[in-house]
Chain A
Amino acid sequence: MSVGWVRRHGVAIVILGLAVVFPFVVSEFWVVQIGISSLWLAIVAMSLTFLASYGGMISLAQTALYGVAGYAMAILTVENGVNPWLAILVALLLTVAVGAVLGTVAARTYGIYFLMITLAYGVFAYYFANQARQITGGHGGINGVLAPSIGGISLLDRTNLYFAALLAAVLCYLGLRYLVRTPFGIALQGVRDDPLRMSALGFNVPLYRILAFVAGAFVAGVGGVFAVWYNVRISPGSIDLTRTVDVLVVSVIGGLYRLEGAFVGAVAFTLLSNYANEFTDRYNMLIGVIFLVVLLLSPGGLLGMWEQFVRRFRTFVTRLKTRDGGREAREKG
């Protein structure tokens, strides 16, 4: 770790350090309601941000996919008493399999068609969860999904669950960052920018999009596992249209074009949803208005706004400097 490495990743190190110290300096309420809640939401939103920014696919099926993982966890551990580790494995494999099937059908479409089809997936999943009582427990869902222990460390303890979620979020983030730098990731970005040309170059365009969708499904599934541990239950209400829109709102508010945006959006969203009721009864209307304003004013979301601000500030500073420099030069001459 050279000085250069530290300097390049300074912001990330500081944020990660704050995230590690966070549970020791705030109350339990903050750790649970803001911390864990933001983290699982960020993981799910990150899967959408990844698909949108690197695959050009805005998928509204991510809630359906995290629902698959969540329901699988609930059914396996609560109703069949399966070992939690095996349950996690099966749940994630199932999510990936479902993602592969859904992705295969949707991957041949682009842009708003893809958006429409994945939105249909999401709504179908909600109605299925509501209807198929024998599998999903119907409207009431499945209750009492308890987090397991890892080597004597119980995830039922909220601080431990927070660190587990933090670890998962960081791993998902690093994994996706690694993925987009591999030859696969580079080709995926080519597919996003010009599918026709990539196809002519011999790349199997639908396959790349399907694989990206599967990677997104995996990350959404990880989010689903933590969501079900956090809520201790899962029901159709956890994957309804409102939830689907919430995930989209998180991604858009944070900034759809960078993975980090998911974290920014998740924290902003969670803070808002916890404190908005202190000044308004119409929380969803507030969310809707904020979403509209962000979309209309800054498609890059909060991260985009910040970067715009930094850029403006820099040009302002350089302009000041050059103006001074110019005057000095003239005076000397």
Chain B
Amino acid sequence: MARGVRSGFGWQLVPWLGALAVAVFVVQFVGRKAVADPGQFLITGLNGLTLGGLYFLVASGFTLIFGVMRVVNLAHGGFYLLGGYLGWSIFRETGSWALAAVGAAVAICAIGVTVQQLVLRRIQGQDMREALVTIGVSIIIADLIIAFWGGAFVDIGRPVALDGTVRMLGEAYPAYRLFVLLVAIAVGLGLWLLLHRTRAGMIVRAAVDDRHMVSALGVNVELLYVGVFALGALLAGFSGVMGGSLLSLSPGEDGRYLLVSLVVVILGGMGSLGGAVLSAAAVGLVEQYAAVYDPTYSVLYTFVLMVIVLALRPRGLFGREA
């Protein structure tokens, strides 16, 4: 947006040169590690991709809501965690993983619609207030989780059919991790088809570009908002069960998935599905490789990734003017 008067010196080049230096360093570092132990390198890469799959599942709902409604739903991490805990309870009662996934998704969808109708609709269009209000919602959800489930770590456990391993690259690889990746790809494709091959998707895409025009053309924007928020919350609840079976759940984890959602949107650009895919994969890979090669400072690498992308493209990789 606003830029000051530039001097003749090429200050614009500084971030690019910095990024280049970091890239060269990372490539040679990872390259040496890869040559030293190719098996570990490949398995870590696969772990990164599966983690990226989970991150995409979480962040897709967040970026969808943000893109269409300009609502930064900071309760998204809370939706994820509540979905996971609900799924855990359903799984324990019924023993059916599929039922847990569907039940949690539907329940969070209902909660999401309630929040949207009761709270967000009153202050529609005031993006800052909407973002702050969702922080309030996230506090309440985090406390609800502690009230009902206490502070313990919870692991949903894997569906029976996927609890085994698959032989890959000469090693036994957990089947469930591959399942997460496949589901993420399926959800990504499903969202793409929904957005690009249906009338509803056409309206959503139009709303990302210019929601006032869409409403002026006679589309029921209220209904569109409810639908988008419901879908985003549904995805959060569902990914809570997916994630609760892949990693454990505990109070405070909502912050982690909120961070992931934020970073994915910041990196990928507002409302961009392709951007979300790419940045979720990037965050997953960076996190896994960093966790293996430099565990004490691993979180720094995701941070550096975010800073570099922001320095080069303040609106994210696929971002456009809002």
Q: Contact residues of A with B, CB < 8 Å?
A: 58, 105-106, 108-113, 115-117, 119-120, 123-124, 126-128, 131-134, 195-196, 198-199, 202-207, 240-242, 245, 248, 252, 282-285, 287-289, 291-292, 295-296, 299
Contacts and interface: CB of A to CB of B under 8 A. Distances in A.
Contact of B299 (A124, A284, A299): A124
15 contacts: A58-B132, A112-B128, A115-B128, A120-B259, A123-B256, A123-B258, A128-B300, A199-B2, A199-B4, A205-B3, A241-B252, A284-B139, A284-B140, A287-B139, A289-B140
B1 A282 contact: no
Nearest to A108: B314
Overall SS of chain A's interface: helix
B259 A123 contact: yes
Nearest to B263: A120
A207 B140 contact: no
Given A287-B139, A296-B122, A112 B129 contact: no
A204 B11 CA distance: 14
Contacts of A126: 255
B119 interface: yes
Contacts of A120: 259, 262-263, 266, 306
A108 to B, nearest CB: 4
A236 B259 CA distance: 16
A202 B2 CA distance: 11
B135 A128 contact: no
A104 to B, nearest CB: 8
B79 to A, nearest CB: 15
Nearest to A130: B299
Interface string B257-301: 011001101100000000000000000000000000001111110
B128 A111 contact: yes
Contact of B132 (A205, A252, A282): A252
B303 interface: yes
A282 B2 contact: no
A132 B300 CA distance: 10
Nearest to A117: B266
Contact of B131 (A115, A195, A288): A115
B131 to A, nearest CB: 5
Question: Closest 3 CB pairs between A and B?
Answer: A288-B139, A204-B4, A288-B140
A136 B127 CA distance: 36
B101 to A, nearest CB: 26
B132 A295 contact: yes
Contacts of A241: 252, 254-255, 258
A295 B127 contact: no
Nearest to A133: B296
Most A C-beta atoms less than 10 A away, residue of B72, B132, B255, B315: B132
B16 to A, nearest CB: 15
A16 to B, nearest CB: 31
Interface stretch (B28-36, B142-150, B191-199, B242-250): B142-150
Contacts of B2: 195-196, 198-199, 205-206
B42 interface: no
A117 B310 contact: yes
B296 A132 contact: yes
Contacts of A240: 252, 255
A7 B237 CA distance: 58
Given A112-B131, A124-B299, A288-B139, 8 more contacts: A105-B311, A128-B300, A198-B2, A199-B2, A199-B3, A288-B137, A288-B143, A296-B123
Contacts of A292: 119, 133, 136-137, 140
Most B C-beta atoms less than 10 A away, residue of A116, A206, A291: A116
B233 interface: no
Nearest to A290: B136
B186 to A, nearest CB: 28
Interface in B1-25: 1-5
Given A116-B265, A123-B258, A131-B296, A248 B140 contact: no
Most A C-beta atoms less than 10 A away, residue of B2, B266, B306: B2
Contacts of B259: 120, 123-124, 127
B46 interface: no
Given A112-B128, A291-B136, A207 B4 contact: yes
B105 to A, nearest CB: 24
Interface string B90-132: 0000000000000000000000000000010011000111011
Contact of B266 (A116, A131, A202, A287): A116
B322 to A, nearest CB: 8
Given A105-B310, A204-B4, A295 B133 contact: yes
Contacts of A295: 123, 129, 132-133, 136
A124 B128 contact: no
Contacts of B311: 105
A218 to B, nearest CB: 22
A120 B128 CA distance: 16
B65 interface: no
B130 to A, nearest CB: 8
Given A112-B72, A116-B262, A124-B303, A206 B132 contact: no
